[in-house]
């Protein structure tokens, strides 16, 4: 039986406009804010020397993963291409696409800085307050293995959040090489490695104790110590004492020390979380997240992914970061200037005045039946003593 809604709609018509869970429209105020923020951030990246690229929303599915990335695979919507019969996917992350562009299309020899902004679509939200269609924006450096690239990425990530108005930002840094070195030494592959990875991500010490019951005492001590290695500089000292003396472990700790010194020189405070592991598997070294008061999860994420282009025939060092613009739209952001209401008409002087105002940067809304309470205007264009003039709205 049809149930009237508001005297006009019923359940059958409702089905035509109810959106899927964690999918939402972007209404005028949020859309204006998103676009203003997108433009401002891309302009910021250009000032650092980054070039913008725009990968397609849909690709053949094998191009959307840099390696056997089961986490990214699960988040990717799949469909069949009616032209080729091949499986395609809606991108859930733009970084693999940018890696393809760097490796396979641009094919430059020197350092390449690329930035992007666009929607991604995921099969599941990252959290209870997340949207399944984030507006991802980010910047990436290809072709530089030096820590200077990571420092630049972190600086630019923090500058992005400052520009967006995010306050009380906390930078946390880790290194996935610590886990990888000990997992390799333990001989973990496949499911066991994945279970240990998940346990560390969730800081589940009980699960980690069970998984490490049959490894050497040194490895067990190191793996159980990782979730406790959280804090300031003293964390690195504790890690040196607790983690096994593997070459890759020593190298990762040295990188963290070098990064900390460089960031302090730039006035950036850093905390360490050595159990911080990224959600996707293409990261290979440093990982860094930004947290802020009022947000339940990281507001920006980044890290190093040196083999990200390997699948596309050219493995290059890479580092970068990304953030979701839609997660920041609850923040205040400069709104556009109130507009001017202009009358309809074919008078040449009126049309000329409207054009001149728009060229000067003003928003001019022609009155086609405007309700002044529903639009952002505070002035009107009126004919006064034979001249079209802008006056305060009465």
Give residue 6's pLDDT band: very low, low, confident or very high (50, 70, 90).
very low
Give residue 1's pLDDT band: very low, low, confident or very high (50, 70, 90).
very low
Q: Is 315 exposed, middle or buried (0-12, 13-18, 19+ CB in 10 A)?
A: middle
Q: How many CB atoms lie within 10 A of CB 354?
A: 20
Mean pLDDT of the chain: 89
Do 298 and 275 contact (CB within 8 A), yes or no?
A: no
Per-residue pLDDT at 4 exceeds 60: no
Given this model, what pLDDT does residue 65 score? 78
Model pTM? 0.86
Do 112 and 143 contact (CB within 8 A), yes or no?
A: yes
Tens digits of residue pLDDT in 64-113: 876 667 778 888 999 999 999 999 999 999 998 999 999 888 888 999 99
Q: How many CB atoms lie within 10 A of CB 115?
A: 23
Tens digits of residue pLDDT in 22-75: 888 888 888 888 998 999 999 999 999 999 999 999 999 888 876 667 778 888
Given this model, what pLDDT does residue 334 score? 62
Q: Where are the alpha helices (DSSP H) in 170-246?
A: 176-186, 190-201, 205-211, 217-225, 234-242
Tens digits of residue pLDDT in 141-153: 999 999 999 999 9
Distances (CA, A) of 170 to 82, 244, 300: 47, 29, 11
183 phi/psi in degrees, rounded to 5: -65, -40
Do 229 and 235 contact (CB within 8 A), yes or no?
A: yes
Non-local (6+) Cβ contacts of 137 within 8 A are 38, 41, 42, 115, 116, 117, 118, 160, 322, 323, 325
């Amino acid at each position: 039986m049809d149930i009237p809604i508001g005297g006009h709609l019923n359940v059958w018509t409702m089905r035509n406009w109810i959106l899927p869970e964690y999918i939402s429209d972007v209404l005028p105020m949020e859309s204006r804010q998103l676009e203003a923020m997108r433009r401002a951030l891309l302009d910021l990246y250009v000032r650092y020397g980054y070039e913008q690229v725009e990968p397609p929303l849909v690709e053949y599915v094998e191009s959307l993963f840099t390696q056997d990335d089961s986490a990214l695979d699960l988040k990717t919507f799949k469909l069949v291409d009616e032209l080729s019969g091949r499986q395609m996917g809606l991108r859930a992350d733009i970084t693999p696409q940018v890696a393809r562009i760097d490796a396979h299309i641009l094919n430059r020899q020197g350092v390449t800085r690329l930035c992007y902004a666009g929607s991604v679509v995921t099969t599941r939200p990252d959290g209870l307050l997340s949207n399944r269609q984030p507006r991802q924006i980010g910047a990436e450096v290809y072709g530089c293995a030096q820590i200077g690239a990571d420092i630049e990425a972190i600086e630019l990530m923090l500058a992005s959040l400052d520009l967006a108005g995010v306050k009380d930002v906390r930078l946390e840094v880790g290194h996935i090489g610590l886990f990888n070195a000990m997992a390799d030494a333990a001989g973990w592959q496949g499911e066991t490695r994945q279970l240990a990875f998940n346990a560390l991500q969730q800081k589940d010490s009980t699960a980690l104790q069970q998984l490490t019951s049959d490894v050497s005492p040194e490895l067990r001590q190191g793996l159980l110590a990782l979730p406790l290695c959280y804090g300031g500089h003293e964390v690195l000292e504790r890690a040196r004492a607790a983690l096994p003396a593997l070459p890759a472990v020593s190298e990762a700790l040295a990188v963290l020390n070098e990064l900390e010194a460089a960031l302090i020189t730039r006035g950036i405070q850093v905390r360490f979380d050595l159990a911080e592991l990224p959600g996707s598997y293409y990261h290979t070294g440093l990982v860094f997240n930004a947290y802020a008061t009022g947000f339940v999860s990281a507001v920006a994420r980044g890290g190093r992914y040196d083999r990200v282009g390997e699948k596309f025939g050219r493995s290059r060092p890479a580092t970068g970061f990304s953030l979701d613009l839609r997660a920041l739209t609850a923040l205040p952001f400069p709104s556009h200037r109130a507009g001017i209401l202009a009358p309809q008409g074919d008078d040449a002087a009126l049309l000329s005045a409207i054009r001149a105002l728009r060229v000067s940067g003003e928003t001019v809304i022609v009155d086609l039946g405007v309700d002044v309470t529903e639009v952002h205007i505070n002035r009107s264009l009126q004919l006064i003593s034979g001249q079209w003039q802008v006056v305060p709205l009465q």
